Chains A and B, each alone.
Chain A
């Protein structure tokens, strides 16, 4: 078995991120107990957490709660509870897990989660999210605001798009002033935007280290470990410090040629969220082949920065709007995602693409067959397509998934070897 164990990322960063996430849950617990700090629910992708910082408010990310449960194998109970309420087997299981937890009073840490002072739906492409937050508001009785972000239908957002989002951001400011009774601290807002700018630069540098062979980290499985702090602390000093430390640790590994595996056999790009209920099992299936993810689309849900985009403290509102419009994978259209994958495969020189279809998320998955068609037939790059779910343990067929992954890497290996033989 020793061979098959994943050499999981275990730097001091790993510890630090645990501490940061616990601290976050403690603040949420405090909010639940005392009513302060003020809180607002947000969608991870294309969020405007910088606005909350300006009010000293803390974000609640239902997605993070849902995935924490799944990783801890606790998602099925709340999912069933939600289905008893009438949610369909084919509804997004993130939503069902979150609603189910609310109904049953389950939280990832056992601590309390506050009733959000504002349910702020930053609508960036995910229609399910509008329903989700509408239902949350209906259940909790919290105030709901849907910040409508125009979907990316042309190469770049228009001035009208940016103007529209900025107008709504300013409505949110007024709303938060009413709800929190605090006044909008512009300097703190600018400072938050500046922090995001720096975190994005650091995170981007880390992503680019994966272009080296061997890659110092797995840009799917390890990237996910770093994503918690990215979401919760992006607009804070703590975030900047965390990612600076992370970068240094990675650079050190690169310096003495340390990779994820003693020998990196395969480099792959992974598309789609992971099967959180079987996170470790799934990783082992790749570790067995010493296959390292060098890039992933899922790690750009929070933001797509490796191609140069950043927040900009000189134009705080506009750059927040731009981030929501164009710099997160959820609000970018399918063809833009194809392009992102193409660049990963070429610039991060990968051997193949893994598409993980998750039934919950049609935003990610609807049309992945066409994506597969594009990558295999147009780009001529080997692609593996597997299906399960990111939250619902009932849809992971372990034997079948392992069989496909084994077959895929057998084939890659066989091709490499026969190519060498010729």
Chain B
């Protein structure tokens, strides 16, 4: 049995999973761990991996191969390979929902639309740049302003009867619009749903540009918000899958690809792409 660790070094949290490949019958998830990233990626990765090992009741020397992903992927000295969070996110989502052909990843600052082939291989993708319009930050700020906890946002938004659209392209300026709504007496649920709708609009635009088809899987922090999922489902008229713990999807994808590379290495091909 070969054991591969996938570590997702995000800007807020570092997540690690341990994946075992039983040569013939697929792979199985043995453990996972999650720690705050802080400013030292190496350390965070060590700790996350440690947590995963503990969770699996295994030891470091049993890990054959380490694949890192996420914005800190290069900051981890003990990695065997680094993979972008787009590639790993697609693989992870595809592993959990083999029928899904595209992935939407809405994180704190970034939104990514990815379309993929049968194998979970990335076909094309779009990411927002330059401006955080349409990112999860939109919601975080709104929640702060409306003085409700981020956990409740999803539920509240579901109660909306008459959503109010948000037109501003800037996550920060949107606040003034929100405030105008509030002072115009618009209810909190209608505002939140309005925000979810405008996020869904932007996301739909990106998905169409990468060629949306078949099922869609939503990952990233925003996936926890029921209101957002509903908004997307209505906007896209497609099935939206939400992984049980969407936090680990990229780490999982990294581990899966790690296994591929490991197999390749075993069959003598020299490990590529390690810089």
A contacts, CB < 8 Å to B:
80, 83-84, 86, 394, 397, 399
Beta-carbon contact of B209 and A84 below 8 Å: yes
Tell me, in angstroms, the Cα distance from A64 to B168 when the chains sit together: 28
Given A394-B167, A394-B169; A399-B205 close (CB under 8 Å): no
Cβ-neighbour of B168 out of A80, A84, A86, A397 (below 8 A): A397
Tell me, in angstroms, the Cα distance from A83 to B207 when the chains sit together: 12
- The reply to whether the CB of B59 lies closer than 8 angstroms to some CB of chain A is no
- The reply to whether the CB of B176 lies closer than 8 angstroms to some CB of chain A is yes
A residues near B177, Cβ cutoff 8 Å: 399
Tell me, in angstroms, the Cα distance from A397 to B176 when the chains sit together: 12
How many of chain B's residues have a CB under 8 angstroms from any CB in A?
9
Given A80-B205, A84-B208, A86-B209; A399-B169 close (CB under 8 Å): no
CB distance from A221 to the nearest CB of B (A): 24
CB distance from A12 to the nearest CB of B (A): 38
Cβ-neighbour of B176 out of A86, A394, A399 (below 8 A): A399
Scoring B residues 148 to 188 as 1 if CB is less than 8 Å from chain A, else 0, what string do you get? 00000000000000000001110000001100100000000
CB distance from A396 to the nearest CB of B (A): 8
B residues near A83, Cβ cutoff 8 Å: 205, 209
CB distance from B138 to the nearest CB of A (A): 16
Residues 221 to 246 of chain B near chain A (Cβ within 8 Å): none
Q: Enumerate 11 A-B pairs (CB-CB under 8 Å) in ascending A order.
A: A80-B205, A80-B208, A84-B205, A84-B208, A84-B209, A394-B167, A394-B169, A397-B167, A397-B168, A399-B176, A399-B180
CB distance from A92 to the nearest CB of B (A): 18
Chain A's closest residue to B208 (CB) is A84
Main secondary structure of the interface of A (DSSP, over half): helix
Main secondary structure of the interface of B (DSSP, over half): helix
Chain A's closest residue to B180 (CB) is A399
Tell me, in angstroms, the Cα distance from A326 to B167 when the chains sit together: 41
B residues near A84, Cβ cutoff 8 Å: 205, 208-209
A residues near B205, Cβ cutoff 8 Å: 80, 83-84
Tell me, in angstroms, the Cα distance from A84 to B209 when the chains sit together: 5
Residues 200 to 214 of chain B near chain A (Cβ within 8 Å): 205, 208-209
Tell me, in angstroms, the Cα distance from A9 to B208 when the chains sit together: 43
Chain A's closest residue to B210 (CB) is A84
Tell me, in angstroms, the Cα distance from A83 to B208 when the chains sit together: 9
Known pairs A84-B209, A399-B177. 4 more at Cβ < 8 A? A86-B209, A394-B167, A399-B176, A399-B180
A residues near B176, Cβ cutoff 8 Å: 399
Chain A's closest residue to B169 (CB) is A394
CB distance from B5 to the nearest CB of A (A): 39
CB distance from B200 to the nearest CB of A (A): 14
CB distance from A89 to the nearest CB of B (A): 9
Tell me, in angstroms, the Cα distance from A80 to B168 when the chains sit together: 17
Tell me, in angstroms, the Cα distance from A394 to B177 when the chains sit together: 14
Tell me, in angstroms, the Cα distance from A80 to B209 when the chains sit together: 10
Tell me, in angstroms, the Cα distance from A62 to B167 when the chains sit together: 28
**What are the 9 tightest A-B residue pairs by CB atom distance, in nearest-first order?**
A84-B208, A84-B209, A80-B205, A83-B205, A83-B209, A397-B168, A394-B167, A399-B180, A394-B169
A residues near B168, Cβ cutoff 8 Å: 397
Tell me, in angstroms, the Cα distance from A403 to B176 when the chains sit together: 13
Chain B's closest residue to A396 (CB) is B167
Tell me, in angstroms, the Cα distance from A212 to B216 when the chains sit together: 63
Chain A's closest residue to B167 (CB) is A394
Tell me, in angstroms, the Cα distance from A83 to B201 when the chains sit together: 13
B residues near A394, Cβ cutoff 8 Å: 167, 169
A residues near B208, Cβ cutoff 8 Å: 80, 84
Tell me, in angstroms, the Cα distance from A31 to B138 when the chains sit together: 50
Chain A's closest residue to B204 (CB) is A80
Tell me, in angstroms, the Cα distance from A80 to B204 when the chains sit together: 10
Chain A's closest residue to B170 (CB) is A397
CB distance from B182 to the nearest CB of A (A): 14
A residues near B180, Cβ cutoff 8 Å: 399
A residues near B169, Cβ cutoff 8 Å: 394
